[in-house]
Structures are given as C-alpha cells and as structure tokens.
Amino acid sequence: MLKYLEALEELPKELKGPLVKVLELFKEEVAETVKRSDFERFEKATEENFNRVWKSIEELTEAQKRTEERLDQFEKATGENFQRVWKSIEELTEAQKRTEERLNQLTIRVNELTEAQRRTEEEIRKLAIGMYNLRGEVGGLARSFGYAFENEAFRMLPKTLKERYGIEITERFIRTEIGDYEINILGLGRRDGTEVVIVGEAKTRLERMEVFDELDDKAKAVKEEYKDREVVKVLVTHFATKRILKTAEENGIIVIQSFQW
C-alpha cells in the first residue's frame, strides 16, 4: 500500500485526488472481500465440523440404540433364565418334599419291620423253647414206649425162647448197665445143658445195619462180666427188614418179631 502512495506522489495533482479515492474504495472493497472470504471459510469449516459432530452424534445415537436393544435382550434373557431357575428351584423344593415324605414313610416302615422282627424273634424263641420241650416230651414218650416194649418183651421172651430156640430162662430179664453200655435186655438161661447169658436190644423197627455193631459192643461188655457163659444175642422188634433178618441169621443172632409171640 505504501508503494501505491509513493507512486501517487509522482502523479499530477488533478489525477492524484481521484486515484486516492479509488484506492480507498478498493481498499475497503478488498477488506470487505477478505472478511467475507474468511467468514465463508470459517462457515464452511464450522459446517464441516458440525456435520462431523452431528455424524458422531448420530453414530453415538445408533450405538446407544443398539446398546439399549442388547440391554433389552439381555434383560429379557435374564428374566427368562431367572424364571427357569426359579422354576427349577420350585421343582427341586417339591422333589425334596416328596423325598422327605418317602423317607418318613420308609422310616415308619423300617420301624414297623423292626417291631415285626422283634415279635418274630420272640415267637421263634418261644417256638424253640416249645420245640425243646416237645423234643423232651417226645423223647420221654419214646423212652416210655421203649420201656413199655422192653417190659412186654420181658414177659413174652421166656416162652418164645423156650418154644422156638430151646432156651430156658433161669433168672428173669432185667435192664442194667455194664461197663459204659446200657443193656436193654439181660437174662440168664440154659440151652442144651449149657449156661448162657442173653443180651438183647428192643427196637420198634429194625432197618439200620448199625444195630449189629451196637449189639456186638454190648455183647463184648457182657462177656467180660460173664466169662463162664455163652453169649446169646437177641433182637426184639415189631418189624425187621429182609436185609436185617438175613444178616442176623448169617451171624447167629436171634430176631423175634412181636407177631411171633
């Protein structure tokens, strides 16, 4: 601008005034132009910044919307999960209640079974005592019956032995103990002039072969007591099997059945 003024000083006076006015107007116009340009640039920059800010706001708004949607979905899912969990808790509570009821019923049943077992054991104990007593009674009856059968044999043997086997009884039959053995039938007699001792067993039935071993053991004990007498072994019974009869005959043992009296 100073250069323009220096140049004007060299111009004629009549031109200097108008040119100065022109320059001032130009200066004002240029100043105005500069201001408008700066404002337009500022306005443009401001609008661009505003657009960017607005875009960011829109993006934030969209992000917030998505966040809210996700929160809604999460809240819904959480609510559904909570309902399922609560339902499961209620089902478990109900199942626990049923389990406790069944346990209570089972406890009652176990107590009932325990009491029933106690009563059963008591009945078994009483039954065992009864069986023991019954065995004693049966044993007593068996012994009584055995003694009765032996007593009957005592009465009938003398006649039967004399008539069928030629043995005369010189001393009545007795029941005694010799050594470690109980002798059911023991009597003294004579056969063909020979002194004999009769050793016998009275059994309601003769089925077991062991009876011969038992009779032999008793006969040996009697022989030790009556060394000078011949031992005659006798078995008395209501019934004897064919095997028993055959074995007795082979071993010289007299078998007398009650129907032969």
Q: What is the pLDDT of residues 114-124, one digit of tens each?
A: 998 999 888 89
Residue 226 has φ and ψ, to the nearest 5°, of -120, 70
Q: Which one is the CATH code of 166-260: 3.40.50.1820, 3.40.1350.10, 3.30.565.10, 3.40.50.300?
A: 3.40.1350.10
Cα→Cα distances 141→44, 90, 145, 208, Å: 138, 73, 6, 21
Q: What is the pLDDT of residues 57-104, one digit of tens each?
A: 678 778 888 888 888 888 888 888 888 888 888 888 899 999 888 999
Instruction: Give the residue from 260, 204, 199, 202 showing the smallest Cα distance to 236.
Output: 202
**Parallel, antiparallel, or unpaired for β 254-257 and 230-240?**
parallel
Q: In this predicted structure, what is the pLDDT of residue 220?
A: 97
Q: In this predicted structure, what is the pLDDT of residue 71?
A: 82
Which parts of the chain have pLDDT scores under 70?
1-20, 22-23, 25-40, 42-43, 45-47, 49-50, 53-54, 57, 136-144, 146
Q: In this predicted structure, what is the pLDDT of residue 29?
A: 64
Query: Cβ of 245: how many Cβ atoms within 10 Å?
Result: 15
- CB-side neighbour CA atoms (13 Å) of 96: 6
What is the value of pTM for the model shown? Answer: 0.50
Q: In this predicted structure, what is the pLDDT of residue 50?
A: 56
Q: In this predicted structure, what is the pLDDT of residue 226?
A: 96
